């Protein structure tokens, strides 16, 4: 009987060791999981920010497309375009209405056909 009890006690000790090892592994995995969870949250936040910026950009592009459409429709009303057919001349600047980036106007290249190198918006004559 002593031998049986001794064997049972030995088995219990082995089970305790295995249990302790499993408990440590679970704690480790929970820590790893927490790290992965934080990383996933960070990626999720970045994705949310990207989606918001993308929606904002699409809205701005839509506004500019509408403005270009109105401008082009205005040109069709008069054979000389808008105004009396006289432009602003060769000097001047092209300016981004979004970020205020300014560049010298190139002769023969309308400002409203140039894209701002900083933010990607169409520029206007300044």
Can you give the pLDDT at residue 87? 57
Low-confidence stretches of the chain (pLDDT < 70) are 1-2, 33-34, 38, 74-90
Can you give the pLDDT at residue 103? 92
Can you give the pLDDT at residue 81? 47
| Backbone phi, psi, residue 125, to 5° | -75, 135
- Report CA-CA distances (Å) from 125 to 47, 63, 106, 116: 36, 18, 11, 12
Threshold 0.85, pTM exceeds: no
- Report CA-CA distances (Å) from 30 to 16, 20, 25, 38, 107: 21, 15, 8, 12, 65
Can you give the pLDDT at residue 75? 60
Can you give the pLDDT at residue 79? 46
Give the single-character DSSP code of 123.
P
Can you read off the two tokens belonging to residue 21?
């090892």
Can you give the pLDDT at residue 122? 87
């Amino acid at each position: 009987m002593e031998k049986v009890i001794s064997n049972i006690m030995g088995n219990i000790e082995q089970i305790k060791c295995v249990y302790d090892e499993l408990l440590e592994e679970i704690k480790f995995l929970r820590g790893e999981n927490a790290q992965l969870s934080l990383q996933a949250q960070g990626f999720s936040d970045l994705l949310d920010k990207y989606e918001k910026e993308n929606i904002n950009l699409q809205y701005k592009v839509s506004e500019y497309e509408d403005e270009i459409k109105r401008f082009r429709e205005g040109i069709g009303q008069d054979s000389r375009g808008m105004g009396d057919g006289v432009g602003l001349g060769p000097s001047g600047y092209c300016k981004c209405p979004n970020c205020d980036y300014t560049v010298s106007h190139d002769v023969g290249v309308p400002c409203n056909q140039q894209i701002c190198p900083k933010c990607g918006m169409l520029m206007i004559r300044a």
